[in-house]
Structure 1
Amino acid sequence: MSELTVSVLSAISGIDPAEWDGCGADANPFTTHRFLAALEASASVGEGTGWHPSHLIARLDGKVAGVAPCYVKTHSQGEYIFDHAWAHAYERAGGRYYPKLQCAVPFTPVTGPRLISAIPAVQGALLQAMAQVARQSGLSGAHVTFCSAAEAALGEEVGYLSRASEQFHWQNDGYAAFDDFLGRLSSRKRKAIRKERERAQAFGGSIRSLRGDEILPAHWDAFWHFYQDTGGRKWGSPYLTRAFFDILHDTMRDDCLLVLAERDGRPIAGALNLIGRDALYGRYWGCIEDHPHLHFELCYHRAIDWAIAQGLARVEAGAQGEHKLARGYMPSQTHSLHWVADEGFHKAIADYLRRERDAVGQEMALLTEMGPFRRG
């Protein structure tokens, strides 16, 4: 009989990149060894951040057969599947919600593999190990966020609670050009987007989409200022360090699409995307000058342009934002899994999630009906 073991790794540098990615982690840019290593090497996660690496490594007869990016969390920031109300309720009842175990990509609301293995039994073992680690370490529970639908179904089979959320994604229906996409919209929405793009492009400068060696270190200097401005307004302080972008340039610039607006030879706004096998993932935006609709042009319309040109299946533009609907980004369900050690609290959350799932389904149906596409 085969021997299956799961161990905890306190730093991703402790496993060979080929072993990690060879389990299937390279199917998504955010779960690759190089992306997670950039977070750790730049001190964006680790000591003092509330994200303490505790990755799970499954071995079958001594050979790495599965991995899971995991962190012991001392807060709920940077997750985008919100459980603050659970934490408050648990602590009001006398419990200690933090620390908890989180299987996730830090600061990244992007669906991708979390139980990273081609073997279902190994995926199940990783889930069971998360609950075991949480129980043995005195943690309140284990959570798997932005997992695939198949992983969510597997989690339910082994006793995790499944949670449904929504994002807005643009789907490529075989378009050859942006105008083909516009042709699917209602006349009013089509005209609104054309007018919006005209106003955005009239800001007095030019817009460039850069990838790989086209991206220079000076571009990251500019983007850091954009990122700080947005992070300061949204989160109080940015999650990523300046060193992260330097490492991203060194190890992942071929995975990056940087859309820059420049005026008088100086970048004044930018949007950073990561490139997957079949999708473009919008991540960060920022600016040092305000111009009408420039945010929509750089983050949404240019992303669609590039995805069509490259034959990508979709654009995922990040968490939240019903304003994306008018620009052709439609509701798409996302999934997470939750295991709580306290049996009574586990039951209370299960009841909450049943009611929330119904509400999410109703909202997605309503928003889909409100979408910009022509009927019939």
Structure 2
Amino acid sequence: MTINKNALPKHCNYLLHSSIAHSELELNASSPFHNPVFLRALEQQVCVGANSGWQPHHIELPDHQLLFPSYLKSHSYGEYVFDWAWADAYQRYGLEYYPKLVTMQPFTPIAGQKHFGKALTDSAVAQLADSVVDICQQQHLSSWHCNFIEQTFAEQLQDNGMMTRHGVQFEWHNQGYASFEDYLTRFTSRKRKTTNKERRVARSSVDEIVWRMGKEINDQALEAFYFCYQTTYMKRGQKGYLSLSFFQQLAKQMSENMLLVTAEKDQKIVASALFFFDQENLYGRYWGCLQELDMLHFELCFYQGIEFAIAKGIQRFNPGTQGEHKLYRGFEPVTTYSSHYVARNDFSAAINAFCIEEQQYIAQYAEQCKKLLPFKTQP
């Protein structure tokens, strides 16, 4: 279904789409997750829509030939820019925080481009800001959230009245290393010995570690990965957001961007990590194991990823959100950006003050994190 807003003033001219397939714009991928194949798979395998709490509500700006994949949300799970306190404040005053509108790739806290189409001019961003305000007012939504965006886009939105939040993730950067051993020469002696010990312990608990790419990611390996993935969620009393059929569709349609790393023992996969990559970036996304084996998570999710990035000449490795333990393995703090609009002025003022104070805390936190890096000298 497409809702036409032609009756609105020109500066609010937009279309809303209930499926990524409904837009007639040419959709060019800028990353494995900013890819119509990835987003269509989420829709077609009902990881979004139905009762997921993610209802596709994609915003198209025809005047600028832009599409922003967006979703009506009935909860805040799977976003990784946490606004639970905002929802609690609404509830204390007897107000409804949900539904709200979110622009991002679902379940994917990866910074980068959040639109399809042409470059984001100032006039296009101004029209987007006007449009989301109108959508929230017309559809009685509490707020709009555009998560894990590029800094320039966040600044453009702030110029148009949106609030900015900062966060921290941890990334590994390739300095032209020839091998993992070459990388470790940057570590202090003590940290280098600790890392080598961790790797020995992890490898001693399994028979082999295998990389699979492209057609090597067959149904048997994918099913074993998925069993590990869901088993790990179940240990926490939860269920993974994504279905086996979703991963199977991706393996058929974009396996050239996928790396499956498996730990095998007695000819059985006992742990696995699924990565996505392009020429410049490696993304660690999904992990699971059948039993907790000492240091194996670090080996599969971090060290194997670093080895792969070095082997392929990939410049950046994002292993997933949160976790100061990444610092000790050489993942450096980087600032993330998100933009927010809150419809009620009485709440908006308080939340904006919070965001400004939070930015100062985030800057201090990032500086503290740098002190925990294992390098002999700071990069």
**Fold-level similarity (TM above 0.5):** yes
* Equivalent position of 1:359 in the other structure: 361
Asked if structure 1 preserves the Cα contact closer than 8 Å seen for 2:179 and 2:307, the reply is yes
Shift of 1:184: 0.8
Aligned length: 366
Asked if structure 2 preserves the Cα contact closer than 8 Å seen for 1:115 and 1:123, the reply is no
Q: 1:78 to 1:234 in 2, by over 3 A?
A: farther
* Equivalent position of 2:18 in the other structure: 10
**Secondary structure at 2:33 match in 1:** helix
CA deviation profile, 1:6-44 (whole Å, cap 9, x unmatched): 21100112135x7122xxxx1111111000001011111
| Structure 2 runs not aligned, ≥5 long | 1-9
CA deviation profile, 1:231-278 (whole Å, cap 9, x unmatched): 234571211122111111111211111101111221111000111331
* Structure 1 position 58 matched with structure 2 position 61: yes
Task: State the alpha-carbon separation in 1 of the partners of residues 170 and 213 from structure 2.
Answer: 24
Q: What are the equivalent positions in structure 2 for 1:123-162 lying under 5 Å apart? A: 123-162=125-164
* Equivalent position of 2:107 in the other structure: 107
* Equivalent position of 1:85 in the other structure: 85
Q: 1:107 to 1:327 in 2, by over 3 A?
A: same
* Equivalent position of 1:41 in the other structure: 44
Task: State the alpha-carbon separation in 1 of the partners of residues 81 and 141 from structure 2.
Answer: 19
Q: Structure 2 length normalisation: TM-score?
A: 0.93
* Structure 1 position 187 matched with structure 2 position 194: no
Q: What are the equivalent positions in structure 2 for 1:162-173 lying under 5 Å apart? A: 162-173=164-175
| Structure 1 runs not aligned, ≥5 long | none
* Structure 1 position 32 matched with structure 2 position 35: yes
Asked if structure 2 preserves the Cα contact closer than 8 Å seen for 1:328 and 1:373, the reply is yes
How many percent of aligned residue pairs carry the same amino acid? Answer: 38
Task: State the alpha-carbon separation in 2 of the partners of residues 46 and 338 from structure 1.
Answer: 23
Q: 1:233 to 1:122 in 2, by over 3 A?
A: farther
Task: State the alpha-carbon separation in 1 of the partners of residues 279 and 49 from structure 2.
Answer: 29
Shift of 1:56: 1.1
Shift of 1:91: 1.7
Asked if structure 1 preserves the Cα contact closer than 8 Å seen for 2:81 and 2:147, the reply is yes
**Secondary structure at 2:76 match in 1:** coil
Stretch deviating more after TM superposition (292-301 or 120-129): 120-129
Task: State the alpha-carbon separation in 1 of the partners of residues 278 and 80 from structure 2.
Answer: 20
Task: State the alpha-carbon separation in 1 of the partners of residues 376 and 287 from structure 2.
Answer: 30
**2:45 partner letter:** S
* Equivalent position of 2:338 in the other structure: 336
CA deviation profile, 1:103-159 (whole Å, cap 9, x unmatched): 011111111211443141324323332222112110001100111111111110111
Q: 1:59 to 1:161 in 2, by over 3 A?
A: same
Q: Structure 1 length normalisation: TM-score?
A: 0.94
Asked if structure 2 preserves the Cα contact closer than 8 Å seen for 1:31 and 1:69, the reply is no
* Equivalent position of 1:207 in the other structure: 209
